[in-house]
Amino acid sequence: MIERYAAFTDSPAGGNPAGVVLDASELTDPRMLEIAAELGYSETAFVTERDGDRYRVRYFSPLAEVPFCGHATVATAVALGPGDHLFVTNAGEVPVTVDTSGTATLTSVPPAVAELPEADLAALLGALRWDAGELDPELPPRVAYAGAYHPVLAVTSRERLAGLDYDVPALKALMTGRGWTTVQLVFRDGPDTFDVRNPFPVGGVYEDPATGAAAAAFGGYLRGLGLVADDAVLHLRQGDDMGRPSRITVRLVAGSPGVRVSGRAVPMG
């Protein structure tokens, strides 16, 4: 049975829709990809094995399998119900806790941050139709990882973020060549508050309304560059420009390498 949830929201009209298949043990890879394409959501999660509270979970976009997906993890965990769950993903083990209010908190695999080569930055800016002078010098371009790879670009203007209009073939080709899952585009609205957008052409989707994997990677980026405290709670707003508001909470805990990402999920009917 295919279930449909909206993640990182209290309303079915907000957040990022995800398909959830809690028993995919008999589905082939082509069939899982076909289901994901039929749904048309940025990702659908498939539970292919279960051993107690340990679950083998795979994620498919309409075009390809992805190693990890945060919003579909939140949706799947909420569908499973309150308690502690361990998801075994292509990126590694991801613990997820669900409380009685329907809020799920995942802990990412250890994050990493790498330089974004100048040639890749130039190509990325070209595909986005952005100018280097619009970038925020306080949040330097990097490639961040917490289960999937996401280049991080921050701008000084909320209006520039709102006016997203990228070259789809060019960005898709660049992301495919570099193994990037989404692009984390950022505007810092305060010390712990950020507006973000995530193009996802490699998945067959123009943009994600909420991207938990990128949120985890961004938390690792901020901590790795010393831009926030080792103990920090961050608030990410996403999806507003798409008419699907999403709210993502990122928590960094000193001494814990994984990044905690929290949000609610609700059935879409």
Q: Cite the active site residues.
A: 43
264 neighbors 248 (Cβ within 8 angstroms): no
CA 97 to the chain's CA centroid: 18
Nearest to 242 by CA among 56, 16, 5, 61: 16
CA 235 to the chain's CA centroid: 14
Give Rg (Cα) of the chain.
Answer: 17
248 neighbors 239 (Cβ within 8 angstroms): no
The string of DSSP codes covering 62-121 is: SSSEES--HHHHHHHHHHH-SEEEEEEETTEEEEEEE-TTSEEEEEPSPPEEEE--HHHH
Tokens of 55: 């679950």
